[in-house]
Structure 1
Amino acid sequence: MSTLAADGIVHSAHRTPHSARFPRPPGDDEEEVLIGLLSGSSTAQAGAGRAHGMDAVEEESDDGMEGKKAVGPMSTRDKYAIALLIVLYLIQGIPIGLAFGSIPFLLKSKLSYSQLGTFSLATFPYSLKLLHAPIVDAIFHPKLGRRKSWIIPIQIIMGSLMIWMGNNASVLIETEHPPVNYLTAIFTLLIFFAATQDIAVDGWALTLLSQENLSYASTAQTAGLNSGYFLSFTVFLALNSADFANKYFRTVPSEVPFLSLAAYLRFWGLVSFAVSLWLFLFKREDPVKGDEDDLHLGRIYKSMWEVCKLKHVQLLCIVHLLAKIGFQTHEAATNLKLVEKGLNKEDLALVVLVDFPFQIIGGWLAARWSVGDKALRPWIWGFWGRLGFAVYYMLLLWLFPKPPTPASFFLLLIVSNVLSQFAATVQFVGMSAFHTQIADPMIGGTYMTLLNTISNLGGTWPRFFVLRGVDAFTVATCHVDSSLAKSSKLLAAGAECVSEAGKALCTERGGTCVIERDGYYIMSSICVGLAVILLVTFILPTAKMLQALPLQKWRLKSMPL
C-alpha cells in the first residue's frame, strides 16, 4: 500500500466555542477530468468522507448537541475540483506504489530480507510528515497560492527524480548487486516529497470543495491514491513481466516485457511536469482570507503540542503504535514468501489485480458501519480478522504445493487475499472515522495529521525489525553434490544460505540452499502471540473506553497564541 491526513484548517459553517470561522472563498472553473467517476451523490460516499477527516455532515449547534445535515447536490464546480484532486492524488500514489510494492519485489531475488528491511526505511517520511506539516500550512507565496506554492515545485522535483531514476535504472535496480543504501536514500527523498505533496493537496481539498460536499474529498483520495498504487504495483509488475505477457496476451512468446521500469519512471516524470505546468498556467488559487492570516508557524506548532499533551490523545497514540505489530510479518513478508515458494510474479500480480475492486467495496461498507457513536466497532472486528489471516497464511505457506501452482490452489489464494484485504480496509476506515469524530474543529487539519501520522508510524516502525527477524531466525545451509561420496549430498561447512553472500557462495560451489528452519513462521508467531496479549489486556479495553468519551475530552479549551 499506505492512511492520509488533511493538514489544513477545517472550514466550519457554524462558529463553535473557541473556534474561528473561516469562510470558503469562491471557486473557479477547471477542465473536466475523470468526471465519470464522480456522478451522483450517496449517503455511503458521505460516510466515506469521514475516513478522510473532513466530516462536513455532522455539525455542532449552539447548544453543543450534534445534528445531521444532508449532503448537498454535486455542482459542476465541485465535480471539476474532485477531478483535479484525483489527478493530484494519483501522482502521489505512483512513487508510493513503487516504494511500498514493486521495487521490493524486483529486488527480492537479489537481496536478503535484512537488506529489504533496510530499503523499507525509505517509507518512513510518509509516517513522519507531521513534523513539517505546519511549515506547509504556514509558509507560502501569496501570488502563487497557499497550496500551489508547494504542489507545483514539489511535483517538478518528483518528476525530475523519476526521470533521473528511469535513466539510471540499469545501475540502480536492474544490476546484479543493487546499491541498497544508495537506493534507500533516493527513495527516501522521493517519498518525502510525495508526503509533502500530500499535506498540501489535503489542505487544498478543504477550500476547493463547497462546504456541503466536503466529504467527497475522501472519494477523490481513495480513487486517486489507490489508482496510483494499483498502477505502480499490480499493473506495472504485470506489464514488466515477459512471462505474464506470454501467458495471458501473446501468441508468439518473447523475452521482452510490455513495459520496462525505465520507461515507466520517465513517463510519470513527464506527467508530473505536465500537471504542474497546467496548474501554473490555468488554475487560479483563491487568496488567503480572514482568520487564516493568523495561522503563523509558531501558533500551529503550539496547537499541535497542546493536542499531544491531552491524556486521551496520548492513549490513542499508544494504541496506534502497538496495534499493527500482530500482522507485520504477514504484510511485510507473505507475498515475498509466496514468490519464494514458487508462485510466479505474474500470477501474484493477477491475485492483487482481482482484489482492487473489493477494496473499494470494503471501504464503502466500512464507512456505513462507522457512522454513529461506535466508529471503532468495525476496527475491532477487522483486528481479529487480520490476526486470523496472519495465522491462516502461515498454514497456507506451509502447505504450498510445488510448482506449477494448481488452479484450485491459485483460486484459494485469490479468495484469501480478497478477504484479508477486506479486513484491513474495514480497520482503516473504522479508525479514520473515529479520528474524524474526535478531531477538534478549530485545528482540524493539524489534529488529523497528528492522529493519522501516528497511525502510519504504527505500521512502519515494526517492519524493519520484522524483516531482520525473519533472517535472524532462519537457518539455511548449502548442500552440494560430491562425486567422492558417490553423489550423496554433503553439508558444506560454513556455507550458510541466509545472506546474499552465502547464497552466492553456494551457487559458485554448484550447491542448493536448503532452508532447515524458516524464520518467517517464528517471527509471525511471535507477532501474533504478542498482539493477542496486547489486544486482550490493553488495546480492546482502552479502545472501548476512548470510544465512550464525550467530545469535550478531545478538544482544546483555547487556541494558543
Structure 2
Amino acid sequence: MAGKKNLAKHDLPQFYLLVALYFLQGIPVGLAFGTIPFLLKSMAKDTSFTTLGIFSIATYPYSLKILWSPIVDSIYDSKVGRRRSWIIPIQLLSGSMLFILGWAVSNNLVFKGVDDAFHGRHTNGLHDLNILTLAWYFGLLVFLCATQDIAVDGWALTILSAQSLSYASTAQTVGINLGFFLSFTIFISLNSSDFANKYFRSQPLEHGFVSLGGYMKFAGILYILVTIYVIMFTRERPLDDVLPRLGPSAAKKYDESKYAAEYPDGDAIGTSNKASIKYTYKCFGRILKLKSVQTLVFIHLTSKLAFQCNEAATNLKLLERGFKKEDLAVTVLIDVPFEVIFGYYVAKWSSESNHHHHSPRPIVSHRNSWVRFLVGDPGILTPWLWGFLGRLAAAALGSYVLSVFPKDSQITKPFFLLVIIQHLLGSFMNTVQFVGISAFHTRVADPVVGGTYMTLLNTLSNFGGTWPRLIIMSMINYFTVYECYVPATNHAITYQGGSMERCTEGLNGKLSILRDGYYVTNGMCVLFGLILYFGFLKKKAQQLQTIPVDSWRCS
C-alpha cells in the first residue's frame, strides 16, 4: 500500500473548514465529558458519585449515533446539499443553545453557584442543583453534536478530492482534540482563581479569568459565525460531480473505497447512497444475528466494566482529597504529546499484528511462555489484549495513588509524578485498545455495507464504555460509610451511602469517612476484569481472530 499522499493545495481551504467544523464539535464534548463533572466535584466535594453518574447520561448520545445515522444519510434537501441540509440547522441550533445556556448560567438560572465569584454573588454553592435538568440540557447539546458529526464525516468525502481523502481523519483528530482541550484542560486552568493568582496576578482575586457562562456564550457565537461562513461561502458539489456517471462496464471499474474514509472515532462512511433507511436497519438486524458478531457484542458490552471505576472516578477522588484542579489539568495536558507520539507507533504495531495473522505460524517461534500465557498466540487482536491488561494495571495503580495521597494535602514532586505516570499508562493503553479493535473491525466489516457495519461495531464498543458509568458511580456511593459528628448534640451518626450534604448542610456536622466506596468498587472492577480476561476474553479473542472473514458477512 502506498504511503499517505500529500494534501493537495486546492484542498487546503476545505481542509481548514473541516478542522473548524470538528473543532466546534469538540467544544460540547469537552464540556459534557470533562469540565462539568470536574466543576461539580471541585466546587462541592460532597457532590455524591451517584449525582455524577446521573450526569454521565448526558454523554450517551455520542455513543448511540448509529441509531439515527441512516436518517441523516438519507433525508436532505438537494438544493441545499446532502450534508449542508443537516450541518447548517444543527449548528445554528447548537450555537443558540450554547449562548442561551451560557446566559442562564451567568444569571444563576442553571447550574447555580458555578459563576458566583465572577459576579460578586455569595450564595450557598451547589446544594440546590437539579442534576437531571443539567444532564438534560447537556445531553441535548451532545445529541446535536453527534448529529453534526455524522453529517461532517459524510461531507468530508465530497469536499476533499480523492487525492486528499486520507486527510479527512487528520482533520477530525486535530479539530476534535483542539475543541476538547480548549473546553476541558485549558478552560479548567483559566477558570481557576488559584491558577490565575499563582501565575499571573500580583493581587489575588476570588475568581479566575474565564467564567463558565462567559465561555459558553463565546462558544455559541463561534458556532454561529462558522455556520454563517458555511451558508455564505460554501457550496456542496452534487454527488454526480464526484461519482462517475458512466455505463455499467465503467461503473464496475469504479472503486468505491477511494470515496470512503475511516475516522478516529470509529465511524466509516462512504458516499454511495444505495442503501435505503429500511435496508440499513434490516442489515443491522442481520449482522446482529451472526454468532461471531454476538460474541463480539458481548465482549464490547462487558470488557470495559473492569476499568470504569478508575476512568470515571480516580481524578474526581483526587479532587475530593484536595488535589488542585489546575494541577490535574496539567497532568491531562502532559498526556497530549505522548498520545500523538504513541498513537503513530500503536497504529504501526497493529498493522504488523494484522500481517502476522496471515502467516502460517508465529513470527517468533521461541515466544516466552509467560507472553503466551498473558496474550496467547500473536494475531490482529494481540494489541487489544495487551491494552486490556495495561488498563487493568492502570486501574490497580489508581487505588494505590489514592492510598498514598499526602495526609497534609501538600503535593510533593514524587507524588505528582506518580499521578502523571498513572494517567499516561491509562490513556496510552486506551489508545492501544482503540487502535487494535478498529483494525479488527476494518478487517471483518462487510464491504457491501462497510460504513454502516463499521459504525455499528464501533458504536457497540463506545457504548460498552458508557452504559456502566451510572452503575459504577452509584456503587461508589453505596459502599461508602461515613460518620457525622454533630457538635450541637455531641452525637456521632454513622451512614452508609446517600448524600454527604445531609451531614454538612442539614445537621451542621463534621464529616469523617470510615470506608471509601471507591476502593471497594475499584477492587471489584479489577477482580471482575481478571476473571473475565483469563476465563473468557483471551480465549475468545484467539478464536475470533482465526474465524474466516466470510463468517462476518451479512450479504
Tell me which interval the TM-score lies in, with the shorter structure as reference length. Answer: 0.7 to 0.9
**Which residue matches 2:440?**
434
State the alpha-carbon separation in 2 of the partners of residues 221 and 70 from structure 1: 19
* Alignment of structure 1 residues 82-481 onto 2, 5 Å: 82-108=15-41, 109=44, 111-169=47-105, 170-175=108-113, 176=126, 177-289=128-240, 292=272, 294-372=274-352, 373=354, 374-402=379-407, 403-481=409-487
Query: How far apart in 1 are the matches of 2:272 and 2:507?
Result: 69
| Native 8 Å contact 2:99 2:220 kept in 1 | yes
Local SS of the residue matching 2:203: coil
RMSD of equivalent CA atoms: 1.9
Q: C-alpha separation between the residues in 1 aligned to 2:405 and 2:6?
A: 51
Matched positions, count: 482
Classify the secondary structure of the residue corresponding to 1:168: helix
Q: SS of the counterpart of 2:554?
A: coil
Q: Which residue identity lines up with residue 204 of structure 1 in the other structure? A: W
Match of 2:6 among 39, 62, 73: 73
Aligned residue for 1:516, secondary structure, equals strand
Q: How far apart are the structure 1 equivalents of 2:229 and 2:17?
A: 11
Q: Given the superposition, is the C-alpha separation of residues 534 and 249 from structure 1 closer, same or farther in structure 2, using an over 3 Å criterion? A: same
In the alignment, what sits opposite 1:526?
A: 524
Instruction: Return closer, same or farther for 1:376/1:209 CA change in 2, 3 Å cut-off.
Output: farther
Distance of aligned partners of 1:359 and 1:410 in 2 relative to their CA distance in 1, 3 Å threshold: same
2:332–2:423 CA contact under 8 A, matched in 1? yes
Residues in 2 aligned to 1:248 and 1:544: alpha-carbon distance in whole angstroms: 53
Post-superposition CA distance 1:332-365 (Å, at most 9, x none): 1100100111101111111111112111222212
5+ residue gaps, structure 1: 1-67, 485-489
Change (3 A) 1:337 1:533: same
Cα displacement string for residues 163-213 of structure 1 (whole angstroms, at most 9, x for unaligned residues): 111001123223332111111111111111111111111222223333354
Question: Contact (CA 8 Å) 1:477, 1:491: kept in 2 or not?
Answer: no
The SS at the match of 2:406 is coil
Higher relative contact order (CA 8 A, sep 6+): 1
* 3-state SS of 1:521 partner: helix
Amino acid of the structure 2 residue aligned with 1:172: V
Encode CA deviations 1:500-519: one digit per residue, 9 max, x unaligned: 3x434435544321110111
Q: Distance in 1 between matches of 2:155 and 2:78?
A: 14
2:477, 2:204 → 1: CA distance? 37
Q: Give distance in 2, aligned partners of 1:391 and 1:499.
A: 26
**Counterpart AA for 2:110:** L
Secondary structure of the residue aligned to 1:371 is helix
What percent identity do the matched residue pairs reach? 48
Give the distance between the partners of 1:369 and 1:78, measured in 2 at CA: 30
Q: Give how far 1:444 is off.
A: 1.7
Contact kept? 1:339, 1:345, Cα under 8 Å: yes
CA distance in 2, matches of 1:213, 1:536: 44
CA displacement at 1:270 relative to structure 2 = 0.8
* Residues 475, 498 of structure 1: 8 Å contact kept: yes
User: Counterpart of 1:548 in structure 2: which amino acid?
Assistant: T
The 5 Å alignment of 1:468-547 reads 468-481=474-487, 491-493=491-493, 496=495, 498-500=497-499, 502-507=500-505, 509-547=507-545
Shift of 1:307: 2.3
3-state DSSP of counterpart to 1:134: helix
Confirm or deny: 8 A CA contact 2:480 2:518 kept in the other structure.
yes
The question of whether the paired residues in 2 share the 8 Å contact of 1:328 and 1:466 is answered with yes
CA drift of 1:491 comes to 4.2
Consecutive aligned runs of 4 or more in structure 1 exceeding 4 Å deviation: 507-510
2:552 corresponds in structure 1 to 554
TM-score w.r.t. structure 1 length? 0.82
Q: Which residue identity lines up with residue 391 of structure 1 in the other structure?
A: A
TM-score by length of 2: 0.83
